[in-house]
Structure 1
């Protein structure tokens, strides 16, 4: 639709489809995308003919996360990386808004399905895990690599979907896992070869769209309130504050400086190499832009 710049919205046969549409950037999240996701969900909510919402990505993958190449390599103060000393509540307000935009998929009265091919990495996994159901290609990948340095997943859905041990494993390592592993541990409802992904989505959507909207709403509310009673809102507040801290910690500032010095790709390789972050990084003076 012409009023969206980062996604496409279509609806038919009781299914609304939200397609993340920045394929040239692997559908990376920019400043406009979170709010547009919320608006698309609200459009589907307002349509009495829609029973199910499917979220997918255009091009080679679902979503590569926040556009960290753009953010990390940019000089000067940018959204998510303030000059020091930084104001954590300014950062919190920005990321809380994004988190709640993604959570519109969770709060929607209608069931939401994430269709994952390629990768749902970092912020892309945030979007996917705010959906009620995740269906993946077997060779697709999901995970939150910035948990190693420069990020914490703000919707904090990992523990509620997986329990503490698997959540700690994936959040502490930042590992990406494929669809087979995601299905095995219960993160994905189903994993199929990519050629069969649309058929798998159609099977689930087909079962759901035949159920009355009020019945879908009631059963979703029952399950959601159980998760929310476990403290989801407070967990998200912690995660959102910690995400800002991660980007302004000595190691977070080191990572951004390295991205500016050697490029984002090489900085990521250094971050993910398994070697300790450069010795003395915590004692380095902050470099003001």
Structure 2
């Protein structure tokens, strides 16, 4: 079964992340499969707009930590010491470029978020041109607390510096309502209205000629790219590798191997573990 599915529906190209048993978590295959689906839609002269969504209970829960953090994956996410930063950079830069296929595509992409778009899943969602969330959906980049740096750097381009710092200094998750109020996404709607809201937007955009859509997207994207987006993403990708091989990052991975990633993630997100000293924080100090 393909980890990403694609179908053409009139003037709409529908791309769906398809690992529902793990909340569409990212493994080694998903980023390239996403880029392949985007290329299919972008090359089809009958497709005017793409809609990106997730199968099952969530859009995307980020990187599959059972696969990576517990040591059951390819070993690329955390290497034995001494680590090879160029190997790590090539691994993560490839994924970043696959996510950025949404940005680079000539045709616009609407991302529909339900459930979760967290960690690496937020990287994917924020590369789309328009993101519409369910009000009860959650978005955030929790690995900013330890073991990650968002390689697409889309937080700052969507929010500006202060709000981006508010999100990445805390690693908090926020609801679709707060994300829309903050300007991170286009809008949020009640969960039972999400499909209709996305379909209405896609149908409206699909009535515009492809060349008109392409020119508007290219002009707007160029204005952002002129600020040095690629250089920022390169730095973020390098830093992402460092976060996973820093003393704290190694302690997080070891903890995940010892107690399972769910407990390690809970300790990280709730701030109950000191990753520098590699021990639980006493309740009186929290």
TM-score for the superposition, normalised by structure 1: 0.94
Deviation at 1:275, TM superposition (A): 3.8
- Which residue of 168, 171, 189 maps to 2:168? 171
- Which residue of 216, 239, 254 maps to 1:219? 216
Asked if structure 2 preserves the Cα contact closer than 8 Å seen for 1:76 and 1:83, the reply is: no
Give the whole-Å Cα distance in 2 for the aligned partners of 1:209 and 1:9.
17
Deviation at 1:270, TM superposition (A): 1.6
Give the whole-Å Cα distance in 2 for the aligned partners of 1:281 and 1:262.
13
Asked if structure 1 preserves the Cα contact closer than 8 Å seen for 2:267 and 2:273, the reply is: no
- Which residue of 76, 80, 98 maps to 2:77? 80
Q: Name the counterpart of 1:148.
A: 145
Give the paired residue count: 279
Asked if structure 2 preserves the Cα contact closer than 8 Å seen for 1:77 and 1:83, the reply is: no
Q: Name the counterpart of 2:158.
A: 161
SS of 1:139's partner is coil
SS of 1:151's partner is coil
1:136 paired with 2:133, answer yes
Which segment is superposed worse, 80-89 or 266-275?
A: 266-275
Q: 1:256-275 to 2 correspondence within 5 Å? A: 256-275=253-272
Deviation at 1:77, TM superposition (A): 6.9
1:190 paired with 2:187, answer yes
- Which residue of 63, 66, 70 maps to 1:69? 66
Deviation at 1:203, TM superposition (A): 1.3
SS of 2:91's partner is helix
Q: Name the counterpart of 2:274.
A: 277
Deviation at 1:212, TM superposition (A): 0.5
1:248 paired with 2:242, answer no
Q: 1:27-42 to 2 correspondence within 5 Å? A: 27-42=24-39
Deviation at 1:83, TM superposition (A): 0.4
Deviation at 1:274, TM superposition (A): 2.1
Give the whole-Å Cα distance in 1 for the aligned partners of 2:278 and 2:246.
10
Q: Name the counterpart of 1:233.
A: 230
SS of 1:69's partner is coil
SS of 1:266's partner is helix
SS of 1:237's partner is helix
Q: Name the counterpart of 2:43.
A: 46
Gaps of 5+ in 2: 280-286
Give the whole-Å Cα distance in 1 for the aligned partners of 2:177 and 2:276.
38
Let me know the Cα RMSD of the aligned residues. Answer: 1.5
Mark the CA change 1:259 to 1:62 in structure 2 (over 3 Å): closer, same or farther: same
Deviation at 1:7, TM superposition (A): 1.3
Give the whole-Å Cα distance in 1 for the aligned partners of 2:270 and 2:278.
17
Give the whole-Å Cα distance in 2 for the aligned partners of 1:20 and 1:279.
36
Q: Name the counterpart of 2:8.
A: 11
- Which residue of 112, 116, 138 maps to 1:115? 112
Give the whole-Å Cα distance in 1 for the aligned partners of 2:117 and 2:268.
19
SS of 1:72's partner is coil
TM-score for the superposition, normalised by structure 2: 0.95
- Which residue of 207, 231, 236 maps to 2:204? 207
